[in-house]
């Protein structure tokens, strides 16, 4: 089975710009979630998509948005970038909405905002 | 969300067993205990999970206290590749966001050759 892949691996943006990060989930996984991981901290949940609809969000403002596509790919969009948005962004997929189904994470996109 | 408490760091020698503790005194009766680990420059990786009984898989064993207020992840023979941050996480099956994991800061495991 293919794993979760994310692109790009690294990205540098300027404050105020917009960014789109991409993720390709494992085939058959209908749920995708995104996490933000600041340096030295554990990942923080941003939101979750199930069958192309957002159905859970963490403590992140609306300028963080996402899309999920039928082909198991998804996007994280961040508008009006701030310096504090510099972090590792992780995508995770899982097979269904049943609790206990392990999450499969990609290796992330390292975003630097200058 | 119920919280977990883990030591910031632990050290082990290669080929020796490692016991990584986790306290979760406010665990609810339906919370599952999950463990993930994150190797350097990689995303988190699922290790094991359990509810009440001890669990074993090819990667590790999970020992759960009888009152469920603590658990221990056991790596039977540590290798250099096991050097990672280990996260103990509680998952509520009633949580509508099924893939919402609440990570703490985890335990940084160092394995000495």
Over the stretch B14-26, which tens digit does the pLDDT of each residue have? 999 999 999 999 9
Task: Answer whether B32 touches A (CB < 8 Å).
Answer: yes
| Residue B97, pLDDT score | 66
Report the residue from A40, A45, A103 with minimal CB separation from B46. Answer: A103
**Which of B43, B62, B91, B94 should one mutate to test binding to chain A, selecting the residue with the greatest count of A CBs within 10 A?**
B43
Predicted local distance difference test score (pLDDT) of residue A28: 83
From the list A18, A2, A10, the residue with the least C-alpha distance to A71 is A2
Contacts of B43 in chain A (CB under 8 A): 4, 90, 92, 105-108
Nearest to B104 among A31, A42, A97 (CB): A42
| Chain A interface test: which of B32, B99, B103, B108 (most A C-beta within 10 Å) | B99
In Å, what is the CA distance from A94 to each residue of A60, A91, B91?
22, 10, 14
The pLDDT, as a whole number, for residue B111 is 97
pLDDT at A57: 94
Cα separation, B60 vs B71, whole angstroms: 13
Per-residue pLDDT, averaged over B50-77, amounts to 95
CA torsion, points A67, A68, A71, A72, in degrees to nearest 10? 130
Residue B96 pLDDT > 70, yes or no? no
The residue ranking higher by pLDDT, B1 or A6, is A6
d(CA A68, CA A85): 21
Q: Which of A87, A89, A81 is nearest to A112 (CA)?
A: A87
- Cα–Cα dist A61/B72, whole Å: 36
Report DSSP state, residue A81.
Answer: -
pLDDT tens for each residue of chain A, 114 residues long: 468 999 999 999 999 999 999 999 988 888 899 999 999 999 999 999 988 999 899 999 999 999 999 988 999 999 999 999 999 999 999 876 555 678 999 999 999 999
A108/B103 Cβ within 8 A:
no
Task: Confirm if A8 and A112 have CB atoms less than 8 A apart.
Answer: no
Question: Would you list which residues of chain A are within 8 Å, Cβ to Cβ, of chain B?
Answer: 4, 31-33, 35, 40-45, 48, 55-58, 90, 92, 94, 96-108
Cβ–Cβ under 8 Å, residues B48 and B59: yes
Phi, psi (rounded to 5 degrees) for B88: -100, 125
Confidence (pLDDT) at B92: 81
């Amino acid at each position: 089975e293919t794993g979760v892949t994310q692109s790009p691996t690294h990205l540098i943006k300027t404050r105020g710009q917009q960014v789109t990060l991409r993720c390709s989930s494992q085939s058959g996984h209908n749920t995708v979630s995104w996490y933000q991981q600041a340096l030295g901290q554990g990942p923080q949940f941003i939101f979750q998509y199930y069958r192309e609809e957002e159905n859970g969000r963490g403590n992140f403002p609306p300028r963080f948005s996402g899309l999920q596509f039928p082909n198991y790919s998804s996007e994280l969009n961040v508008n009006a970038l701030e310096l504090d948005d510099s972090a590792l962004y992780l995508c995770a997929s899982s097979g269904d909405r049943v609790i206990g189904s392990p999450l499969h994470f990609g290796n992330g996109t390292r975003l630097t905002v200058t | 969300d119920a919280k977990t408490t883990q030591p910031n760091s632990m050290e082990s020698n290669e080929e020796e067993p490692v016991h990584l503790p986790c306290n979760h005194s406010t665990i609810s009766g339906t919370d599952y205990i999950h463990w993930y680990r994150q190797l350097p420059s990689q995303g988190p990786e699922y290790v094991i999970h359990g509810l009440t009984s001890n669990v074993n898989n090819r990667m590790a064993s999970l020992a759960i206290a009888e009152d469920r207020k603590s658990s221990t992840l056991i790596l039977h023979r540590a290798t250099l590749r096991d050097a990672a941050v280990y996260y103990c996480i509680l998952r509520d099956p009633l949580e509508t966001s099924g893939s919402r994991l609440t990570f703490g800061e985890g335990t940084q495991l160092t394995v000495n050759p």
